[in-house]
Amino acid sequence: MDAVIEKKIAIGISACQFGGKVRYNGKGQDVTRLLGRERSDFIWHPLCPEVMAGMGVPRVPVSLRGGNGDDFWAGKAEVKSREGENLGEWMRSGCGACLDSLKRAGVKAFVFMEGSPSCGVYRTSLKNKRLGHPPGIFGSLLLREGFFLIPAADLQSPIRWWDWRRCRLAN
């Protein structure tokens, strides 16, 4: 028999996957609507590290140079706009503020947007077979802090989502 959720689970999510039109190009989608009534079993905490960093919408896309998100936090890689502006300080502040917010709310799971140099965990490029050099800057923090991580794309597959949900409830 299916497990019954008695208490709502707090769960973080990349804001651009919760309907927020906060991507660099002003786009976003709501993957949670695919959950139907189950959506209300959770308390959602949408956030965008790039917007929290002070970058607006639309904005010039950012990219990691010289390494991945882990390297960035170790001071060995840089994050720059396409125009070459160094956005390291901004991203440190934005990611730190997002992490503080999740911790304050007792959030332990996060639905992340794969392919982003910020929120990506296992890929940092959306271009076909280019997998980039993961994790992204915020993804690195989420991994380090031991968050239960769910790719946003998996909410589009009932079977995959059920599997994630079962694992989450077992933790």
- Site residues, ligand SF4 (CB under 6 A): 14-16, 22-23, 48-50, 113, 116, 118-119
**Based on the number of CB atoms within 10 Å of its own CB, is 36 exposed (0-12), middle (13-18) or buried (19 or more)?**
exposed
The CA distance from 69 to 139, in Å, is 7
CB of 48 to ligand SF4, least distance (A): 3
Longest dimension (CA), the chain: 55
CB of 112 to ligand SF4, least distance (A): 8
Residue placing its CB nearer to ligand SF4 in the complex, 137 or 164: 137
CB of 44 to ligand SF4, least distance (A): 13
CB of 14 to ligand SF4, least distance (A): 4
Residue placing its CB nearer to ligand SF4 in the complex, 5 or 44: 44
Residue placing its CB nearer to ligand SF4 in the complex, 45 or 165: 45
Residue 141 CA from chain centroid, whole number: 10
- Run of H or E including 149: strand 148-151
Cα dihedral across residues 79, 85, 89, 93: positive or negative: negative
The CA distance from 53 to 39, in Å, is 28
Residue placing its CB nearer to ligand SF4 in the complex, 91 or 158: 91
